[in-house]
Amino acid sequence: MSDETSKGERLQKVLARVGFGSRRSCEQLILDGKVKVNGQQAQLGSRVEVESDLVTVDGAPIGVRPDLVYYLLNKPAGVVTTADDPQGRPTVIEMVPEDPRVFPVGRLDSDTEGLLILTNNGELTHRLTHPSFGVEKEYVAVVEGKPSRSSLRLLREGVDLEDGKTAPAKIALIEQETIRLTIHEGKNRQVRRMCSTVGHPVKRLIRTRIGPLSDRSLPPGSWRELTTAEIRSLEKSVADSD
Ligand code: URA
């Protein structure tokens, strides 16, 4: 815990973000003496480093509130990200526990594989999907043909799509016909359209990272709960800068 002048985030802001109500009601929680940082009574104006300080409300560490759940799913191809599919295809919602009801954070095309977060934390969902927070998403795309250096440069600098030019991206050719793309926008079918536009349609697309989250050992079709440290680092990746 540190004082007003140091680094970190204001405690009431952190509490509001993880779901303890408005900033005002979080201030009240602090004033009521319900919040501790590293075992010590918190003060209004305290700042915390969410990754290293232990914040508790009524004795329960934040980030492990029992009513909030966070799943990381390795979505296989052929599964849709919507809650219901008119064509009767399997949905990501059916792949994780039913209760409490969770929602996918953003969407992957039915053909796209890889990491998807599902949660009932609406504020975190909003932040992770809103373009203003610019969370990085990393994809591995197997494409038709070997992209030339100029195609890779185009992908890197921005591709003109019908709904606008894409922002600069991190691009690496990792095998003959395999590209790693790191983007921070969420245009519809963005990676597929970017690659097609430069002449290399995508044959297979896998999301391998969302912000700080990756997991190479989660088998396709499996899910697991996020750890408290992962929840905190996700929260941090979408924190307001103040
Ligand atoms: N880009 C795509 O083209 N599809 C996805 O599912 C995600 C990103």
Identify the pLDDT of residue 63. 66
Catalytic residue (one of 3, 53, 85, 109): 109
Mean pLDDT, range 37-41, rounded to an integer: 92
Q: Radius of gyration of the chain from Cα atoms?
A: 20
Q: What is the pLDDT of residues 119-134, one digit of tens each?
A: 999 888 998 998 888 8
Q: What is the largest CA-CA distance in the chain?
A: 63
pLDDT band of residue 241 (cuts 50, 70, 90) is low
Mean pLDDT, range 37-45, rounded to an integer: 92
Residue owning the nearest CA to atom 5 of ligand 1: 108
Q: What is the dihedral of CA 88, 94, 100, 102, to 10 degrees?
A: -70
pLDDT beyond 80 at 148: yes
Identify the pLDDT of residue 128. 93
pLDDT band of residue 32 (cuts 50, 70, 90) is very high
pLDDT beyond 70 at 4: no
Pairing outcome for strands 113-119 and 47-48? unpaired
Pocket residue to mutate for ligand 1, from 138, 182, 207, 209, most atoms within 8 A of Cβ: 207
Q: What is the pLDDT of residues 179-213, one digit of tens each?
A: 999 999 989 999 999 999 999 999 999 999 999 99
pLDDT band of residue 50 (cuts 50, 70, 90) is confident
Domains and CATH numbers, the chain: 9-62 (3.10.290.10), 70-131+218-237 (3.30.70.580), 136-210 (3.30.70.1560)
For the question of residue 109 being annotated catalytic, the response is yes
Mean pLDDT of the chain: 91
Identify the pLDDT of residue 6. 64
User: Which whole-number Å values give the CA distances from 127 to 16, 18, 52, 68, 123, in the listed order?
Assistant: 13, 11, 22, 16, 6
Identify the pLDDT of residue 53. 85
Q: Which residues line ligand 1 (CB under 6 A)?
A: 108-109, 112, 189-192, 205
